[in-house]
Each structure stands twice: as C-alpha cells, then as structure tokens.
Amino acid sequence: MGSGFIGGAQPLKQGKWGTLGFGWVNLNLTDWYQEHTFIASYGKEIFKEGLFVGGSMKLLKREFGSDIYTQIDPLFQKNGSNTSNFSHDLGFLYRPNSKYSVGLSLRDFTQPNVGLGSEDKVPMEIRSGFGYHQRTLTFDGEFSRRDKDMNVSMGLEKWIYKVLAVRAGFTAGSRNRRELTSGLGYNGNYFALDYAFVFPLGGIANTAGSHRFSLTVKFGQIPERARWEYESEDSEVERILEEKTAQIHSMEKELENLKDTSRSGKLESTWVRQQIQKLEEKLKVQETKDLEEMKGRLFESKLETQKMKKQIEELENRIQRITRPEKPQAIVPPTAPQIIPQSVEPVEVEQAAPAAPKSYVVQDGETLQSIAVKLYNDENKWLEIFELNADRLERGGTTRPGQVLLLPQK
C-alpha cells in the first residue's frame, strides 16, 4: 500500500488578492484498489489582521481493479468499477502575533456519497489545533474527530542554524491507536526536503512503521518576511536603532520649535521653560553617544545663530548712523552742572584697563541661560559667559555642579 501527494500554490498580487492552490492525492493497493483526490483551493486574509479563511473543492474518485471475480460479480457488472463525487473543505487560521496561532478545519463537510451500488458517505472530519512559536522552537497540539473516532496529537520542532529541523510527535486515540513519530527537515533558499518515520505502538499489528518523504520546490522571487515571522537578530538591532534615532530627531525638533516660539513671544516664557525642561529630561534618558553628538550640534547651531544676530544688530546700528544726519549735541546749561562721582575721573574711564572678571560657582541644575538670568536678568548674556569660559566648558556648553566660571562685567 502506498500514498502520494503533488501540489502547488501561487500568491496573487504578492498575497494581497489571496493565494490559489492545487493538488492531487493518491492512495493505492497494488492493482486492487485506488483513490484519487483532485483539489483546488483558495485562501485569503479577511476582516481582521492575522485572520485567514480558506476553502477547497475536491473531486473524489474510487477505482476497483478487474479480475476474474469482479468480471462475474453482479455489483460490478451493474455499476461499473469506479465512482466519483465532489466534496468541500473549509478552514480558519488566526495568528495575532509571532508567538501564537490557532486553527480550525472542516473536511468533507458536505459528506458526499461515493458508494458503488449502495450509499457510502464520506464522514466529515473536524480538526482544531494550536501552535506556540519561538525563534527556533515550535510546539503544537491537535484534536481531530471523524465519525466516532477521536485522536489527540502533540508535536515539537527545533531548528538548528535556520536550515536543519528536528521533529518528534505522539498521537493517541480511539481503537487503541498510539503512534510515535520522528523526522528531519532541511530548508534551503529554493527547495525544502523533509522525512518522517511513523511507528505504531498500538492499534495496528505486524508492521515496522512507515517512511514518508516530501520535496518542496520554491519558484520566483523570495518573499519578504511575514509580519508573524521572527526577524533576524541583525534586522531587529537595525530596526531598533532607526526607531531610536527617529525618536531623538523628533524630540530635538519639538525642542527647537518651542524655543523659537518662545523667542517670538507667542507663548508665556514660564510655560515654555517648563516644556523645554520636560523635553530635556526626556533627552537625558537617551544616554548614548549619538545623542550627545546631536546635542553638541544643536548647541553649536544656537551659538552661530546668536553670533549672527549680534553681527546683524551691529550692522543695523552702523547703517543707521551713516544714513541718519548727525544731530547737534545738546549743550548742558550752566545752571545744571554734570555730577561726576569723585572716585572716577571722566577722562580716564575709556583709557582705564577693564576690571578683572568676577567668578561664579555653578549650582546643581544650573545652565548658562539660567545663570545669565540669575546674575544679569538677561538670558542672552549666556553667550558672553560661554565665550569667556569656552576653554573650560564641555562640548555643548554643559556645566557641572561646583564648576567655577568667569563672568563678564555687567
């Protein structure tokens, strides 16, 4: 006795329109009896992500061999030596994520009659199962019922180096059915080869088991990874890095927008500072080298922008002095003498050497901007503090508690 199967599947529009399948199943007993099943199938994901529905239409055909006994048998003389009928299957599969899957199938639910001379309906078979998937390990279970027979199966599959599979399983059911199975599998880019050995422990006597082989050939372009399949470790690391980089860029962009809005006076400065402080706290969580470099580039951009603003203001003042006619200086009436402090000579103010800069010890949580507001009541003074202490500040103008800074004259 032998059995065989040949089948194929073709995705439509890369699976967007579903998948078509076809197959042929054969069961034969030398020259005495044969069963042929011709299958056409279609399946598609519908309604909910991860929910698949499929159906099959089958042509069932039975053929009986011919010998001297069948030639004189009235049953075969009246009805011939073969019979056929159509049958249908229906199946459901739900896989919400890469770890779990459940399925249900109804085979021959129309229960076609394939009897020769008398009624012989094919009983409906109900199968339900589940699967638990890890990156290289799969565990599944199945329950089936056909007429009065019920069976329970459990299986385990382990992949080694993504190309070699080792499998084992056990089945128990009605009429003392007990089977032990084992197998191997190889999965290549364009073909897969599988082998299974089924050894009966009960129910069937005088047998040493059966061997089953299968060959799968893959045509066309290799499809991308399905969303329920585990991605490779390299792809996972690359994806996480891209997500973190995009998150950092988004937070920095939001931070810059808030600061620009604050400078234009569209929001209250207190609220803006709170929002900026919250965003800066979020950025501090990303303690990575890439984040520090991005903060450095952000600070250098702010520094250049502030310098350009000062240069533009100086140019505007010079243009105004050139284009505006010089007004005569006001003559101070003799009755209102100018009061000059005795400790400072008016003529010597411009020629005197600048006083030595003051120093300041940085407190916990202070920045150049907060120090400028605290000491000068002018947030823009932070640029002068930075230029005076550029040799002792870290990249990005970051300050440390206890650090001594030189301060410009007010």
Burial of 54 (0-12, 13-18, 19+ CB in 10 A): middle
- Residue 151's pLDDT band, with cuts at 50, 70 and 90, is very high
- Between 347 and 119, name the one with better pLDDT: 119
pLDDT at 292: 65
CA neighbor of 309 nearest in space, from 226, 380, 397: 380
Report the alpha-carbon distance of residue 43 to residue 16 in Å, rounded: 11
Q: Is the pLDDT of residue 77 over 80?
A: no
Are 138 and 184 in a shared domain? yes
Average pLDDT over residues 300-325: 76
Instruction: Output 343 or 55, whichever has higher pLDDT.
Output: 55
**pLDDT average, residue stretch 18-39:** 88
| Res 59: pLDDT | 94
Our count of domains for the chain comes to: 4
Query: Once rounded to an integer, what is the mean pLDDT over residues 285-313?
Result: 71
Specify whether 307 is located in the same domain as 383. Answer: no
Helices (H), 142-288: 233-263, 269-285
- Are residues 184 and 139 part of one domain? yes
In a domain, 323, yes or no: no
pLDDT of residue 376: 87
* Phi then psi dihedrals of residue 120, to 5 deg: -145, 85
**Do 383 and 406 lie in a common domain?**
yes
Residues 213 and 274 in one domain: no
Mean pLDDT of 47-61: 90
Q: What confidence category does residue 248 fall into, taking pLDDT thresholds of 50, 70 and 90?
A: confident
Distance, CA of 122 to chain centre: 45
Query: Above 60 in pLDDT, residue 114?
Result: yes
Q: Domain for residue 368, yes or no?
A: yes
The Cα 155–Cα 181 span in angstroms is 9
Residues 111 and 138 occupy one common structural domain = no
- % of the chain with per-residue pLDDT over 90: 26
* 10 and 106 belong to one structural domain: yes
Kindly state whether residue 349 falls inside one of the protein's structural domains. no
* Helix and strand totals (H; E) in the chain: 7, 15
pLDDT at residue 8 tops 60: yes
Alpha-carbon gap, residue 57 to 41, rounded angstroms: 6
- Please say whether the beta carbons of 73 and 80 come within 8 A: no
Instruction: Judge contact between 98 and 92, C-beta under 8 A.
Output: no
pLDDT (mean) for 84-102: 91
11 with 93, same domain: the answer is yes
The predicted-structure confidence for 387-410, as pLDDT tens digits, reads as follows 888 887 877 778 888 888 888 876
The stretch 62-67 carries a mean pLDDT of: 82
- Final residue in a domain of this structure, among 255, 289, 312: 312
Residue with tokens 């399983």: 169
- Statement: residue 106 has pLDDT above 80: yes
113 and 8 share one domain: yes
Q: Virtual CA dihedral for 43, 47, 49, 54, nearest 10 degrees? A: -20
DSSP letter at 81? S
The last residue of a domain, from among 312, 341, 375:
312
Residues 248 and 205 in one domain: no
* Cα-based distances in Å from 20 to 9, 24, 190, 295: 6, 14, 20, 54
For residue 20, the tally of other CB atoms under 10 A from its CB is 14
Global confidence as pTM:
0.54
Verify that 31 and 77 share a domain, yes or no: yes
Domain containing 238 equals 231-312
Residue that wins the pLDDT comparison between 55 and 261: 55
Q: Would 128 be classed as within a structural domain?
A: no
For residues 13 and 90, membership in a common domain is answered with: yes
Confidence of residue 241 (pLDDT cuts 50, 70, 90): confident
* pLDDT at residue 260 greater than cutoff 60: yes
Q: Which of 107-121, 266-280, 355-369 has the highest mean pLDDT?
A: 107-121
Predicted pLDDT at 382: 85
Domain end point (choices 87, 117, 147): 117
